[in-house]
Structure formats: structure tokens, C-alpha cells
Structure 1
Amino acid sequence: MAVTEPEAAGPSLPDTPEARDAPPRELPRTWLDHAHLIDSVDGIVWEADATFRFTCVSRQAERLLGYPLRRWYQEPDFWVRHLHPDDREWATSYCREATEQCLPHEFEYRMLAADGRVVWLRDIVTVLAEAGRPQRLRGIMVDITAQRGTQEHLERTVSLLEASLESTADGLLVVDLAGNIQACNRRFQEIWGLGDAKPGGLDSVALQGVLDRVKDPADFLARVRTLYARPEEESFDIFEMRDGRVLERYSMPQRQRGVVTGRVWSFRDVSARVHAERERERLLRDAHEAIQVRDDFLSIASHELKTPLTPLRLHLQVLKHALESGQPVTPERVDKALGQVRRLSALVNDLLDASCVGAGRMELQRTPMSLPELVREVFSDFRATSTQHLLTYEGPDEDLLVSGDRGRLVQVLANLLENAIKYSPLGGAVRVTLIRSEGDAVVSVVDSGIGIPKEEQAHLFERFFRARNAPVSGFGGLGLGLYICRDIIERHGGHIWVESELGRGSAFHVSLPVLATRSVHEAHV
């Protein structure tokens, strides 16, 4: 870019018809006016030849970059040498190509000032050409350092906000007052499965796409519409999704300079926390119930164990006194004492059986047996001892063979018959039936006693459960019999259930798989 230095520093004389026609005495004044005008422009006004050597530079160059004006003229490559190293190659190439094509151009680059500062310039360049060849360049360099600093600060701020938006654990959605999506983060898209939710779209469209995923879409939609109708209102609530997730929703108005311009929605997945809280509440509730069951059981057990011990002690004391005084001991007194021993033994056996059931250690010795014969045997024992109740039995004409533990099945039937008699304190009929139902044999024990409340029937086969209309003070028992019966029957592959109406008696049914059938005559041959 080597050219000769101009004859004088400063702007060239204006080459216009007015200048050529002006009287000689007015030229210096016009020239000075132009010089002052150019120097007053807030930028570096310059002119150079096609090789980028300056031929005219305004005094703003010295004030802006700190270099003497003579250096701009004397150094052929002044502009190129003082470009920022990172901009030097592309800026010169861009300017050269535009000049060769005689195209006006505008670009931004950095120059190094005399004191080492980096100055951002916007250069607006016009190419003067003759016969399609560039002759001169004219332009103005405007200092945009402050603007670029502001822009870079804004870009850094926006970048930081975007990074923060993407890094938060909450799903965020920003909409304007018209419901247009202004911003949303990736977490929002993940929570709702809305990969197409992007700035510029409508919130109403996205909303319709997620309603079928909410457990209560009507309530969800109503709350959204309420908040859109009340721009100043804040809101916080928790709702459930159909897939089991639990979300917190927080919404507040977006304000700019105190004016509401939109709304910010925040969604947080709190499923793990809520499920953990619910599990803790369930465990705590179960623990309280277990403690209550334990306390109730200890109270009942102590009462039930004490009940046979007291008369047993009295009977033994009477027997001892009779023996010491030489009086005869009657069999009736011994039988009464043995009866209390049997009662105490049954309570202890129930406790042992309940322990085996809870640990899954109850063992069965199963063999083929005649179920009608077993039912008749248990029925006969109870009919012989019960004087206040009318016991009846109705069985099938055929013999029904089942595979079972005889002792355990007797225990079940005895328990059902004992309950039927015990919970019919005013007497009445107790009916036992045995029928064949498809592949099962069904034994039913029906009484006309106090019955069982409907809401308590589902809990009847639970451990230690007692119906509220059958207090231990009036009926006794540990609340283990039916619990043990259920386990025994289910281990036989059968089923036990109850039908009852409060005050009108109960019907307990036991079904067992039938192995085979044979006529009654064959069964007794």
C-alpha cells in the first residue's frame, strides 16, 4: 500500500462546481468550514487509495486511537498493522474483496490504540470507481466500543440466564398475557413430554396436549384458566399424574418495571418425596395399629388365660381339702377340673398355631378321607353336648373324598360349630350342610345368632380381630380361631368365607377340592 504522502495533512479541497466557481478569496473560508465540519463528526472520516493507504484522515483519529495523524499518512500499512491480531486476516480480506468488486460495505472490527486499548469500530465504506476499477475509498469509522461492551455484557447475561434456566431441577414455562410461550427449559419439556414446546408457540396448544396425562384434568384446566383471568394472582398446588407422578405447581405474575407482562409457571416432580411421606405415614399407622393389636391381645390373653385358671385353682383346692379331711372325691369335681385344663390347653394351642401360621411353618399330614364321615363325627360330638341349640345336619347321598389333614379339618369344623353356638346366646337352630359344587365339596355352618356388621366382615379372618358387637367380656376368645382356620383351609387348596347380616345370624362356608366320589353303600363296605 505504498503511495506518496499528501501535500498537506487534513481533508482534501472539495472538488465541486461550487468550489470551482467560487471567488479566490472565498476558498480558504470554505475549506476551513469543511475541515471544521469533518472534525466535528463523532467518528474518523477518512479517505484512502485502493491499496488502503490513507490520503485524508480527520483529527478524531488522533483523539480516538492516540496515534499522530502523520503516521496514518506515512505508514503505507498503518491500518493493517494496527488491526487486532484476531481480526487482521479476515478484515483485510473482506475489505479487499469488496473493493475489487467496487461494492460499498460495512463491517465491525477491532484496532489497537496507542495506549494498548482495544477499540471496536464500525467502518462504513464507499468505493469510488472509474471504468469499473476502484480508485479511492471513503469512509467513516465509528467508535462502538461501549456498544460492543454492552452487547457482550448482555450476551453473557443472556447466556448465564439460559444456562441457569437449563440447570434448574424445575420445569419452567414463561408466557405473555396473550398466552404465547416466551421461554421454557428442557426440564419442562421432559416433565410433560413436550419436545415441540418452544418460544413462539401457544400455551393453549401445549395445554391440550397434556390434559390426558393429568389425573384430574378438569380441575387442572380450571385452575389454569382462573390464573390467566387474574394476572396479579399467585398460586401453589400439588396434583397427580395418571402415571403415578406427583407434581408441585407454582405460578406467579411476571413483572417488568412494575407492570404485569406475563406469567411464570414452575413445575417440580416431588413423586419420590410424596411417596416416601406416604410410606412413612403408612408404616407409622401400621406401627400404631400393631401396638394397639399387641395391647389388645395382651389384655385379651391375660383375661382368657386367667378365666380357666381361677376355677381350676378352686377345684383343686376343694379336692385337696377333701383328701386332707378324708372325704370322698367325686368324679364330677375331677371332671370339672379337667374341663378347665382342656380349656386352658386349647388357648395355648391356639397361640402356638397362630405363631406357626405367622411364620409359615404349619405342617399338614394329608391323606385321602371321607369328608361326610368327618363332618358327621364332629357334628355328633357337638349335638351330644349342646342342650340349648337345635343342631341339624344335611349331607349328600354320595361319599366325597378329599385329601386332607384329619386333625386340622376337625379343628376347623369344631371352631365353626363352637362359634355358631357361642354367638347364638339365646339358643336357636344351628344347621350344618355338605354339598357338591362342581369340583368342590362345600361345608356350611349356619346359625341364627347376633350376626356380623357388614363393614367388619372383610377383617374377620385377620389375627386378633374381634367384631365390635362381640366383646371379649361377653364372648371370650383370643380372636385367633378364624385366622387359623383360613390358613388351614387355604393350605388344603380350599377357600373359607362368610355371609352375615347383623342381628340375623351368620353362614360360614368352607370349600375343598374333591378327589373322587362314591356311593354311600360303597363307603361302608
Structure 2
Amino acid sequence: MCPDYLDNRLQFMCGGGETGRLVRNYSWKETSLGAPHEWPECIRTAVSICLNSAFPNAVYCGDEFNLIYNDCYIQIAGNNHPDILGLPRYRAWPESWKQTQALFEQVISSRSAVNAVDELFLLNRYGFIEQAYFNYTLSPIIDASGKVCGIFNSLMETTDRVLAERRASLLKQFKSASAKFDKLGSAFEEVLGPLQRERRDIPFAALYETDKHGGFNLKQVTGELIIETDRLESALPDVIACGKPLFLKLENNNVFLVPVIQGEFQVIGVFVAGLNSQIYFDDNYRQFLENIGFLIGTTISYSLRREKDKFVSDQIKYNEDQFQFAVDAAGLATWDFNTGSQLFTGNRRLYTWFGFPEGDGITLRQALSRIATKDRPHVEKALNDALKFETGGYYRVEYYILNPEQSEPRLVRTTGRALFNDKNEVTRFSGTLQDITAERNTLLVLEETNSRLQIALEAASLGSYELEPKTGKMLCTAQFLANLGRPADDSFAYNDLISQILPDYHQLVSDTIQKSIAERQIYEIEYAVRWADGTLHWIEAYGKPQYDENGEILKVVGVTQDVTKQISDRKELERAYEKARLSREAAQFGTFDHDLVNSRMEWDERCRQMFGITHQRPLNMERDLINGMHEDDRERMSDLIKHTLNQEKSNGDYDAEYRTIGAEDGKTRWIRAKGKAFFNEYGVPLRFIGAVLDITAQKENEIRKNDFISMVSHELKTPLTSLKAHVQVLNRKARIHNDNHTSASLDKVELQIGKMSTMINSFLSVDRLESGQIHLEKSEFLLNDLILQQIEETRLIVSSHKLFFEPSVSVKIYADFEKLGQVLTNLISNAVKYSPQGGIITIICGFRAGQAFVSVSDTGIGISKRDIGHLFDRFYRVEGKYTKQISGFGIGLYLAAEIVRRHDGKIWVESEKGQGSTFYFSIPQSVV
């Protein structure tokens, strides 16, 4: 609305609220602009737009750029309103005129607008020079003749946002460093690192540590500490006593002292933050500094907890002792890398190892050419990372050196560090190489332990949060939400958290937070939550309440970590130990565990009993294990253990039977042992574990049974031989008298006598095999000849099946002709038994990978997967409706397997139920 008294020529000044009234009442005739009704039309239009705009605008017009602005500009003007209205620009804002003058001249000369985003201006609005940031546009006001008669200024202050983003970035750097330090000393001396690079909010800072005598030690300083140190340090006890931040006004600078708190409420230091005199010290500034103090305390607390952790401490001490021993025992090569010339220099050992003349610099390209191809990528990456300031300059890598003058590659570990100047430029990069070729196997376990320890120290995923207890609002990081199984963009409040926590923990969580607020303490709590997918997770949370200037709770800030795996693993391990203990007790198993790296052997009580040992002294493999065996078993078992510890030959599998002689009771026991050896990536055995079972009673029964079978077999063999002779005599007489019926009957009798003789011979073979009386009589022959002979013999007595042989090229082997013939006879006989009449039996032989092999295939009933694993066990027979009428005692395949094994060969079967079977055996093509 325009006042009634306003001249029609001044209608452009209508509206505008408070500033509109001030503009209408201003004595413009006293300025270079003159009376308003004489102003150019373009100025009038610009002023009208400005006054009635809902956005901060200003118009600079006339030769001196007199200032006219609207109501939205009042907040920007601060305490200068309304005094600056109508003043020339250089008088309205003299502190920034030099910065603005060039912009005005650019707009006028180019007759085009200029703009900027988040540009800094130093303004005096509240009695001090203040940093203020703006998004703005300066546009020329052009009259009808084309003359620039003023400048239209649209602007928006972004100071709060710029400061908030900058501070949030700095807080993020402190949060990222929370898992960096594993020692209290290094945390106190390096935790202020982010303030070395970002000083706009905290131009200088200091960190004091309390000592046990009540004093303070200055641990770290950033920026230039130009303050009254005596007065500052005299205020430190007050901060410790009250445990609250303290604002301190000094002669040169103001500082803000924040207590560094660890655990419940233990003040372990003071963070001194120098205040930027050009930034208003409001609640946001204060809270920002308190947050940094809290993060410093959190970082130091985590470093102290890691350092004091007993398990980690013990492992680190052990590993350091082992590592130091290895370092002292090894000669080191030294190196120095010049980043300018890109040359390595070092001591004589460096040149010798790499195979270059001593004294000449070694280029990076030359050095890499002597490093194994597979190692070059990670060597180059480690080198490049070390030359970056952000990594701290640390360099550690292992690789193989391939010196053309030496036959064997040399495995080395190189360690070093790059040093940087204040411009983050490398000033020196040097270190050492250690030859670890011989020690590699010994150090593998140590390195694996160190690696796991390092992962454990760095892998903790911490999520942070801010909670407003009065409103329930929460500001959370993506990791915090991830710990609750929620997406990173999920909206989240305290009620959502409580809804995920199991009801049993609701009261505990609420009471813990309320107690923390009431007692002004940091809290620590564990509780269970339910994810959206129904899974249960455990959360470990830490929090610290923060208060306003009146002592009222403002918010709670803290961190969380998903500790589900640690708790689950602990419970699962307890269950597994209990289950294993019950299983061992029920089965009367004993267990053994041999640490081959450290030469330690652990037996449980049951295992010791089986060797007749009652003491609990340390055990030794040679003294207690090998010498504790029966003298007839020692050599065999020693060879078997060596075989087990050869990964290529055994894959670490161990299965044995042997006798022990009790060390203290002298009692003989039969033991069944099964175990597994574990190897490193190079095939070196690290550990050998397993279980033992006392089978003395079973073995004694088995010996009695075998003795009985042997005795019966011997007793039956003589009368059968006599009976066969009489049948043959009778058969000849029947043929002489052309008594075909009698002859045919006697042929069948003779066939059945032959089958019975074969069965008895099999029993006798088992007896001789187990008593060690079967010896191989090896000779050189063609495998084809052996197969053809067995086929011809089979065809004499088998007419119900078709036998096909696919001979290979001449494969000459060195083996026992008769016993391999027995293997073939058993395999062909089985194929006949378990396939229908008229079935086809195919025999193939050949040579591959240094092994001669034979396969026998049939089209019979096949074998189930359950039975395949037991086919070669003694007396094992497949049970089923199709096998009940098939004769046999489960001896043939057992004998075949033993004969093949004594030739250092392998025997196996491939079959599917109803699809026939193929039996294979292979033996090395040995040299005579």
C-alpha cells in the first residue's frame, strides 16, 4: 500500500515494509542520486522490484553506488541496519569494498552479470570482523540509452551451511581415525592429525595428558600456539575437576577447553581448541568442539583397550620375540630410494642379491626386472602407496628375487618408510631387506597370526548416532543402520530402535541411557535386536550425553558395533566342545594334536592310557609315540607317518592300526588311529591331529577267527585234493565206456570241487597276507599277454557271457604275473556273477601319466554309492534282493586290492545302480 500523501511520481517506492518506509522517508536530495522523481526509469523499476521481493535483494545506484535494500536484506545487514541504507557501497561495507569494487567494475565494463557460490566476505555486522559466505548475482541496470546506471544484487547467505559441511567433514576424519591407533602413546601424539590439514575453525590446538601425579604433559600441538601458556595450564585442573568444557578468554586469543574422557567418567586429558576470532562462538561452534573432544576420547579409549587386552598383548609379545629372533639371526640388505632420480642405492648385500655391480644406482625398472613376475604387481602397489602422505609412508612387502647368477630364487621381506616435509612431499624413502628364504616355513604361522591380529584390530565396523532424548529423533550413519539390517536411506527414530530391540532388553536400554544422562557418564551396553528378515543380532553400544549452557540434556552421541559373530562363535564353540567331549567319552576315543612348527605334542588322558602313560609331562614324537609302539610295527608306522606328512602323496590322510607296549605297565594293546595333517601353501606340514581307539578285544577276536579259518582251510584242502583225483579217475573210466551221463555228472562234481578249492585258497591267501607270508615275485612281461591268458582261462569255464578285449599298444610292466592274474580273475569273476546271462564284459588296458591301467566293465546290476566305499573291505558283501543267490564271502576284492597296493598301485570302481560297473586298477610302469 502507498501512503495517500505520496507523489504520483514516487509510486515506484510503494510497499516494501519497514525498508520501504525508510526509503520513502530518506533524504535522497543530499546524495549524488538527487530527488527520487528525477531518477532514471531503469533505477525506479529496479528499486520497485527490490522493495517488493521476497528474496534478499539490494540495488546499488548512482555514481557512488548508494545502497537500497529490502526487508529480507535486514538479517544480512545485522546491527548495521538501518544505518547503511542510502550510503555509498564503500561506506556501507568498507571492510569488503576492495573485494567488491573489482566486481562492480567488471559488471559495468562487460555490461553482463557475474555470480558466485559460497564466496567468502569479511564483514563487520556485530562489532567484529566475521567470516560470511554468500551465493550472489550482480546484474547491470541499463537505461534506454544503453548506459549502466546501477547494479542489481540478488544474494543468499550460506554461512551456516558452509560451516556445517566443513565441520562435518572434519568430524568424519576424526571418526575414520578411531580405529587407526593401537597404542595409547601414538593416539595421544597423533590423534590431532586432521587439524594439521584443516585449521579454518580451529587455527591452533593442543592436547594435554594427565599423569599419575596430577600434572599435565603436552602431547601434541597443531598450528602456532601464540597464547598465554601459563594462564592456559593453570585452568587445566578446573576442567579436570568439573569434567565439563570451559571457555577461556585470553589476551591474544580465546580458547575452548574440552575434557578428554575415557570409560565411565575418567578424565585422562584436555583438548585445547583455539577459536577463530572471525567466527561467532555460538552453540553450534561449541557443540562442534565438544564432539571433537568426544571423538578424541573415543579414539584414545579404543587404543588403550586394544593395548591392554591380555590376549592380544600375549600374542604380540610372543610374535615379537619370535620375529626379533629371526631378524637378529639374518643378515639385512639396506636401500635408499631417490624419488627424483628414481634410483635405488644400498649396501653390498643389496647389489649382490639383485645381481648388479656395486656402486651403480639401480633403476626401478631394473629392480622390478629381477623380481618374480607374480610378485611385481603387489610390489609396485605397495611402493606407490608408501609414497602417498595419507598412508603414513609405511612400506612392507615380500617377494622373490630372481638373480640370473644364482640358481635358486631368494625370498625377501622389505620394510621401509617414506618421510614427508610440511608440503606432504617425500624427502626420503629408505628401509631394509631381510632374506627369509630359509626361515619362511618357521615364520608362516607367525605371519598368519600377525595378519589375523591386524585384521581384528582394523576390521571393527563402527556406526555412529546422535539421539535427542526429548524428541526421540536420531541422526545415524549408514553403518549404524547396517548394524540393524536397515538400508542407508532409511528414516529412523528412537522408537524404531526400541521396536527392533528384544522386549527383554527394553528396560535395560532405557535405564542405562537415563542413568548416563543423570550421572553425566559414558555408557556401554549390549543388547539383542531382530532384523526385518527375522535373524537375531547382538549390538554393542557406547554413548555420551551432551548438555546446553543451562545444563539441560541436548543429545546423546555414540557408536555401535555388530558383535553377533563374536557372541555366536562363543556359544557355538562351547556347544562344540561339550558335544566333542561327550562323543569322546561315549566312544572311549583318545585325541592327539601335534604342533609340527613348535615341536609340541598334546595327548588327552585317554590317549596316554593307550600308551601306558600316567604322568602329565611333555611328550615327544620319537620317544613316546614311535618307541611306544611294538617293535614289529615301528618301522612301518614311522614310514606311514612320513607318508602322511607328504601332502603330494597322502593329502594329509592318516589311517592305521598298530600295537603299543605300555611305557609303565608293559601291556600290549591294539590301536586304531585316524587323523589329518594340515599344510601351508607350500606343502609344509604345520599340524597333525586325530583320534585313537583301543581295539585290543576286537583284534584278539579277529586273530582267533583267522586262526580258525586257517586251520579249517588247511584241514579241508587235503581231502579235497584226494577227492578231486578220484573224480578224475572215475571220469576217465566213464569216458572209456562212453558213459556220457556219468561223465557229465562227474564234470559238474569236479567243477564244484574247483570252486571249493578256490574259496579255500582265498582264505589261505588272506591268512598268508595278514601274516606277511605273501611276497611279490616280479618279472617283466606284456600286460596284453596277461589279460589274454586270463580271458582264455575264463572262457573254458564261462560260456554264459561275452568277453571283449580292446588291446592297447604294447605296455611292458614289471610285476608279479601270477598275482596280477589273480586280480584279473577276481574282477572278471565278479563281472560274470553280477550281470545277467548273455551280458557283455569289456576289458581295456593302456598307459597314461606313468601308470599302466586295466578296466573291467559289465552291464550288470550296478552298485549303490553307499556300498562303493566298502567294496574292498575284507568280508564285505553287497546286500540286496538281487545278490542273495550269488555265492561269495567278500574276500576276492579285498585280496585284489591288497595285491594292487603292494605294487604301489590304486584300485577303484565307477558305478551307478542299475547301470553296470567298471572296475579299474593301475600300477606304476616300473623299471626292471
TM-score when normalising by structure 2 = 0.25
Q: If you compute each CA radius of gyration, which structure gives the higher value, 1 or 2?
A: 1
Q: Which structure is higher in RCO with an 8 Å CA cutoff and minimum separation 6?
A: 1
TM-score when normalising by structure 1 = 0.42
